[in-house]
Chain A
C-alpha cells in the first residue's frame, strides 16, 4: 500500500514536471503555430470539401457535390500522372545534385579562415535571390553563354534536357544552403575521432567513410527532407517553360486547373493528392534517414 502511494506520488510529480516543461515548449511554439494554422492549415482544411464538387471558377457561387469523381478522373488521367513523373524526375536530380555540391563545398571550406568566410558568403548568395529572378538570369545564361560556347541548344528548349536544365538552376540556388548545414555538421564532429583514426592508420577516405559521413547523417536528413519537400512542390522553375510538356510539374497542374482552366474542384482534388504524396514521401524518407543517424 505504501509502495503504491509512493509510485503515485512520483508519477504525479513527473506529470507536473512534464506538463510544465511541455507547456513551456508549447507556449513558445504557439505564435508560430497560430500563424502557420492561419495561412496553411485552416485554408487547406477549408478547401478539402471543394475537391468533392464540380465548382468551376473560384469565384463561382454555386456548385454540386460529385463525391470522389474528381479523384477517380485524375488518377486515370495520363496528363496528370505525367506531371508526377516530371516532378519526381526533377526532385531526384535536384536533391542529389544540390546535396553533393553542398557537401563537396562544405568539405572544402568548413574550416574558418578569412578566405573561407568570404567564399561561404558568396556561395550562399544565390539562395537569397528570388526564384523568378534566378530563372530569368539562367535563361539568358543558357541562351547567350552555354549555347554559343558549346554549340548546343539551350536545355530549356529540349524536352529530354529541360528537367535537368531546371534542376541545375535549383541546384545553383540551393547548394549554398545545403553547404551551410553541412558546415555546421562538420564543425560539430569532435576532432578526437580523427586523431584516433589517424593513430589507427586510417587514410582520408576511411575518415570520410567511417567518421564524417555517419556523423553527418543528421545534416543529411535535414537537407534531403527539406529539398524533397521543396522539389515536390516545384512551381516557379516549371512556370518559366510552361509550354514544355516534359517540364510540367504537379504544382503547375494544380495551379492551371484551379485558376487558368476554372475547374476549382478538379484542381483542388489534384492539390490534395499532391499534398498526400508529399506528406507520405517526406515522412518515409525522414524516418529511413533518421534510423541511420549516429548519436554523439
Chain B
C-alpha cells in the first residue's frame, strides 16, 4: 500500500511539475498594426508590459506598417507565406478576405465583449456579415482644433454655426493669420472634412446603406444631396490657402500648427497626443465643425483601434486572453495614447478634451460609422479620397472646380472601380 501511495504521490508531483512547465512555456505573440503615432506605439508597449507582468512567460513582437501604403500588402505576404501574426489590427469590414479565408476569429459569442454592453455602432464597426470579428478598444473623431492663445489674442469665440465659422475665418485672414494649416499630402484629410455632413445627414435620413449602394452602383452620388452639401461646407473652409497645404504630410502640418503657424487645424482626435508631444505646453481647444446654422452637426464616432485574433496562428488562446485584457483593463493604454475607451472608463490622467469626447459619446447623440450597413472598401476609399484631394487642390490653387464637377469626378472614379471589381 505504502509503495502504491508513494508511486501515486510521485506521479502527482511529476504531473504538477509538468503542468507548471507547460504553463510557463514561453509564448510569443505577434501584433501586426498600423498605429503610426508614437504615443499609440508607447501605449501598445504599456498594455503589453502590463499583461506580461501578470503572465511573465508571454512576450510580444509588434510589427508596424503604414496603413495607406504597405500594411495590408505586408500582412497579405505574411499570411501567404505562412508567417502567421497572432493579432491583426483592422476593421473586419475593410478586410473581408481575412474573414472569408478564416484568418480572424469569430467573436460573436465572446462573453467579455457581450459583458461590455457596447452600443450597436461600436459593434458594427468590428463586424462583417452580421458577425463580430474584432475587439473595439477605443474611438476616434474629428473636427477643428484651435490654438487657444491665438483665439484669446484675437478675441475670438468658438463658433457654433456655419455663419459664425465663416466670420471667424474672415477675421483671422484680415488679421494676417492663416486660418488653417492643412496636410493634403495625406489623403485622409479630404475624407474627414466631408464626413461630418455626410454621416450626420445620411444617418438622420435613414440612409444606412448609402455606402453599400454607391459601391454596388445602384445609387449615384447625386442621388444623395448631402454629398453636395458636404463639398459646399468644406469649400467654405478652404480659404486662406498656405503654400504648403497640399504638400504637407500629417506630421509637417502638426509641426506648423504647434509652432503657431495657423489658428486652426481640421484633424482627427488621433493627433492629440502628437500635437502635445511636439509642444507639451500647447494650449489647444476642439470643436465640431458646424454644418449649418441650426446646430445639426454631431460628434462623428468610429472605432479606432480594432484588433482581430488569428485562429490559425499558434497560441491563439493567449492572444484572445490578451485582447480581452486590453478591452477590459485598457486604462493604461488610454492614459498613454490619450485615446478615449469604448467601454466609457475614463481615467483622471486623460486630457480634459479627451474626457469631454468620452462624455459626448456616452450621451449617444452621435453619428457612428458602425451604424452604416457597410464601410467603403479599400478601392472605393482610395477613389473617394483621391478625388477629394483633387477638389482641395483645385479650390486652394484657384483652379475653380465646382462641386458639381467634383461629384461627376467621384462618380466616374467609382464607376471605374465597379468595372474592375
Contacts and interface: CB of A to CB of B under 8 A. Distances in A.
Interface of A: 56-61, 73-74, 76-80, 139, 142-143, 147-148, 151-154, 156-159, 239, 241-245, 255-263, 266
B79 interface: yes
Given A59-B79, A143-B244, A157-B244, 20 more contacts: A60-B101, A61-B101, A73-B419, A77-B416, A79-B413, A142-B247, A143-B248, A143-B252, A153-B243, A153-B246, A156-B185, A156-B246, A158-B397, A242-B187, A243-B187, A245-B389, A256-B379, A257-B420, A260-B379, A263-B420
Interface stretch (B32-40, B43-51, B70-78, B215-223): B70-78
A194 B379 CA distance: 60
Interface band, chain B: 35 or more
Contacts of A260: 72-73, 378-379, 382
A9 B76 CA distance: 61
B363 interface: no
B68 interface: yes
A262 B420 contact: no
The secondary structure that dominates the A interface is helix
Contacts of B55: none
18 contacts: A57-B76, A59-B76, A60-B100, A77-B416, A147-B247, A153-B246, A154-B246, A156-B247, A157-B184, A243-B184, A243-B187, A244-B386, A256-B382, A257-B379, A257-B420, A260-B382, A261-B379, A262-B96
Interface string B228-253: 00000000000000011111110010
A60 B413 contact: no
B408 interface: no
B186 interface: yes
B393 interface: yes
Given A60-B97, A78-B412, A143-B252, A153 B420 contact: no
A262 B382 CA distance: 13
A61 B185 CA distance: 36
A58 B397 contact: no
Given A61-B101, A78-B416, A243 B247 contact: no
Interface string B97-124: 1101101000000000000000000000
A159 B390 contact: yes
Contacts of B378: 260-262
Given A153-B397, A157-B185, A260-B72, A57 B244 contact: no
Interface of B: 68-70, 72-73, 76-77, 79-80, 96-98, 100-101, 103, 184-187, 190, 243-249, 252, 377-379, 382, 385-387, 389-390, 393, 397, 412-413, 416-417, 419-421
For the complex of A and B, the 6 pairs showing the least CB-CB separation, nearest first, are: A157-B246, A259-B73, A243-B187, A154-B247, A57-B97, A157-B247
Contacts of B76: 57-59, 259, 262
Contacts of A263: 379, 420-421
A153 B392 CA distance: 14
A154 B184 CA distance: 12
Contacts of A157: 184-185, 244-247, 393
A59 B310 CA distance: 14
The secondary structure that dominates the B interface is helix
Contacts of B249: 139
B244 A147 contact: yes
A142 B243 CA distance: 10
A197 B103 CA distance: 74
Contacts, number: 118
A157 B80 CA distance: 36
Given A58-B76, A73-B420, A242-B187, A262 B97 contact: yes
Nearest to B73: A259
Contacts of A60: 97, 100-101
B246 A79 contact: no
A139 B247 contact: yes
Contacts of A79: 413, 416-417
B97 A153 contact: no
A260 B65 CA distance: 13
A258 B72 CA distance: 10
Contacts of A266: 420
Contacts of B389: 243-245
B73 A154 contact: no
Contacts of A61: 101
Name the residue in B100, B244, B412 with the highest tally of chain A Cβ atoms < 10 Å from its Cβ. Answer: B244
Given A60-B97, A243-B386, A262-B378, A154 B243 contact: yes
Contacts of A80: 420
A77 to B, nearest CB: 6
Contacts of A74: 420
Contacts of A153: 243-247, 397
A255 B68 CA distance: 12
A257 to B, nearest CB: 7
A61 B82 CA distance: 13
Name the residue in B190, B247, B419 with the highest tally of chain A Cβ atoms < 10 Å from its Cβ. Answer: B247
Contacts of A151: 243
Nearest to B421: A263
Contact of A158 (B246, B252, B386): B246
A67 to B, nearest CB: 16
Contacts of B247: 139, 142-143, 147, 153-154, 156-157
